[in-house]
Chain A
Amino acid sequence: MPKKTTRRTNNNSTSATTASSTNPIPTARPKNIQHPQEDYKPGFHVQEKSVFKTQKGLSEDVVRQISAHKNEPTWMTDFRLKAYATFLKKRMPPWGADLSTINFDDIYYYLKPVNQQGRTWNDIPDEIKSTFDRLGIPQAERRYLAGVGAQYESEVVYHSISKHLEDKGVIFMDTDQALHKHPEIFRKYFSTIVPPADNKFAALNSAVWSGGTFLYVPAGVHVELPLQAYFRINAEKMGQFERTLIIAEEGSSVHYVEGCSAPSYSSESLHSAVVEIVVKKGARVQYTTIQNWDKKVYNLVTKRAQAFQDATMFWLDGNLGSKITMKYPSVYLMEPGARAEILSLAFASDGQHQDAGGKAIHVAPNTTSRIISRSISKRSGRSSYRGTLEVHRGATGVKSHVVCDALLLDKESRSDTYPTMKVEEASATVEHEATVRKISEEQLFYLQSRGLTEDAARGMIVNGFVEPIVKELPMEYAVEMNRLIEMEMEGSIG
C-alpha cells in the first residue's frame, strides 16, 4: 500500500500550512510601482473594428477561411479540418461546471483587428494602443519585462523581445508567425502535448486557433526577466482561441506571464486556449497566469507540460475573472528527477464558478510534485478544486504533496474538492490535505482591536490566506494580484 495520508479539517483558525515568508504582503502600493491608470477598470471597451471577420458560427467553411486567410501550409489546413471533425464528435465534458448555456452558433470564431503586427507601440492603431495603455502593458514592458506580446481579438497586434535575448537565439513571437518562420521546430512539437482528441475544447482550439505565443529558449540560456503576453477580447460574442507553445531546451530557464481581460457586455464570450510546454533536461519553466476575464466569459483552457530529467515545471495559475473557468494545468513527469509545482489561486465572486486545480502524472521514478490550491468563494460564487495525481507502475520513489484550502466568505458561498488519485507504486509517498475555513469573528476582532476597520481586517486575512501563492509572484504582479483581490473584496460585507 502506498503511504497515503489524508486529512480533512474544518477549522476556523488553524492553518495546515506554515507561512513564514520573508516577503510580507505589501499593503500599500510601493512608490516605484505606480499603476499607470488610477481609473483602471478592465471592463471598458472601445468600438469594434476589424479588417476581416468570419461569419457568426462555426462550419468547415469557416475553418477553411481562417486557414486560407493565414496562408497556411496544407498540413495545417488538414490538421484544422480533422480537429473540427473531432470537435463535432466529442461530447461536452459530463463533469465540472455547467456549460449547457454555451451557444456555439452565436460566436465569432475569427476576427482580425489589423493588417500588420507592430514592432513598436506607435505602429498600432490608436484605439488598440490606448486599450493596452490603460492596461499598463507598454509601461510594464519598459520597467521590468524582457519581451511582450499583445493579442487583440484573434491576432497578436504587437510583439517585441529585447535585443540581447534575440542574439542568444531566444525566439519569442506569435504562433502564426512561428508556423511560417520556424516550421521545423513548430511541427516537431505542435499538438504533441495536447492532441486535438484530448477533449472537446482542445479539438475546438485546434480547428480555429489563432495567435498565442511561441517561445523557444535554446540550451543553457537563462531568461532573467519575465516575458509577458496579454490577451484582450474587445468585441462582443467573440471567441478567442490562442495557441501557445513553449520549448525550453536543456539547462535553460524562463518565466512567462500571461494576463487577460475583456470588456463587460451583456452577451457571453468564449476563451478556449491550448498551451503546450516542453521542459527538457535540467530546464525550468515558470508559467504564470493572472486571469481577469469579464464575468461573461467562458474560460475553458487546456494547459499541459512535459518535464524531462531533473527539469522543473512551475505553473502559477490565478483565476479571478470569467463566468466559468475550467482549467487544470498539468505536468507529465517523463524522466527521473523531474519536478512539478502547481500553485493555483481562485476567487469566485457572485455568479462565478471557478473549477480549477492541477494534474501531476508521474511516469518516471524519483519524480516529485507539489500542488497547492487556495480558493475564495463569495456570495453565490463557487470554487471547486479538481485535481488528479497519478503514479504509474514502475515510477518508484515518487513524492507528492497536495494541499487544497478553501476560504468561504459568507454562508451562501460554496466550495468543493474533487481529488482523484491513482497510485500504482507502493513506494510512493503521497500526502493530501484539504481544509475549509471561514474568517473567524475572533480573528476579525483581534485585528479591529489594533485599529483596522472590519473591511480592512477582512481584506488582510484574505491577503494572508493567498500569501503562499502570491509570494511566488514577482513584486509587480504580487501588487497587481493583491489589488485585484481587493477589488473583488469590495462590498463583501453582509
Chain B
Amino acid sequence: MTAIRIALADLAADMRRSALTVVSIIPIVAAYLVLLGVAAGLVGDQAPVASSNIILVSPDALDPSAGRLDPAVLDLVPEIGGTDVAVYGPAIFRTIKVDDRIIQLRAADPSEWEDLYRVTVLEGALPRPGADEVAITEGVEIATGWRIGSTVEIYGSRFTVSALVRASGTRFVSVWMSFDRADRLFEGAIGFQIVAIRPVPGADTAGLLERFEAAAGNQYAAFFELDLAERQTALNEVAARISVISTVVGMAALAFAGFNLTALTLAERRRDIAIVRAMGFRRAEIGAVTAIRSIVLSLIAFVIGGLAAWALISIVGPTTLRANVIQVGIPLRAWLLGAAISIATPALGAQVALSRTAKAPIRGLLESA
C-alpha cells in the first residue's frame, strides 16, 4: 500500500512529466488497437461458397466483371454438358461504384437465383423481373446501412431495396438485380459476363469441368465457382497477412514503450534512486514504486488510447475492399492482451533497469546530474 501511495504521490508531484509520458504512449496504443481491429475485420467470418457450380467467364479478362461472353456460349452448354447439367443461365457481373463504395452487381433471372445461385431470401421479396428493385447481401447491409425500402442510385437510376439475401461468400458486397433490368441499365452494351452451370446431383463434376475446358478454345474459360471466389478473396488474404505482421509490430511497439517507460525513468532519475537508497529503502521497494508508477501511466495511456481507437473505428465504420466488406472492430482479446502488455512490460522494465542501477555505487549516482 505504501508503495502505491509513494508512486501516486510521485506522479502527482510532476504532473507535466506524467502527462507528457502518457501522451507519448497514447498513439502507440491507438495504433496497436486499430491494427488489430483492421486485421480482425479482414479475416472475419466468411460463409463458405457452398456450390459445385461451374462458371464460364471471358478468357481474356483477369477480372470476370471486365469481360463479355458471346451469346453463342449459352448454346454450347447443353451440347457439352449433356444430361450432367441440371440448370444453367447467363448473369451480368460487374464491379460498380455506389456512394463511394465498390460493390458487385449481379444480375440474373430471379427465378434462377435460388436454384442456380443458392440465394436465400432473409427478408423481403425477390425483385420482380424488369422492376426497379434490387436485393442486397448482408455484406452490403453492414457496409452501407441500407435496409429493405432504402432507395439507392445506380448509374443514374433509382432502385428500391426489396430483399435482404444470403448468397455464397457472406463478405461479398453484392447487389442483385433482375437480368432484364440490368441489361436495360447498361443499354445492352455489356452483354453478360458469366454463365453459371449447376451439375445434377451425383454428376462427375470434375469430369464435367474437364469437358468444358477441353471445348473452350478462346470462347470462354471454365472454373469451379469455389475457385473463382478464392481468387477474389486472395487479395484480402494477402492484406490480412500483412495486417497480422503489422499487428505483431504494433504489439512489439506497445511492449517496448512500456518497457522503455520504466527503464528511461530509472535512467533519468538515478540521483533520486540513489537518495532513497541512501535512506535505506530496499531494492524491492524501489522496484515496486517504479513499476507501479510506470504501470499506472501505461494503463492511463491504454484507456485513453483505447477510447481514441474505438472512436476512430466508430467514425470510419465498415468499409469495402474489392467488393468484400471489412467490418473493423476491436476484439476482446486485443483489449485483454493490450492491458496485459501495459502491465507486464513496465514491471519487467523496472526489474531489468533496477538490476543495473542497484549494482552501481550510491556514491557515484549521488554525484550524477
Q: Do A and B bind each other?
A: no
Interface residues of B (CB under 8 A from A): none
Interface residues of A (CB under 8 A from B): none
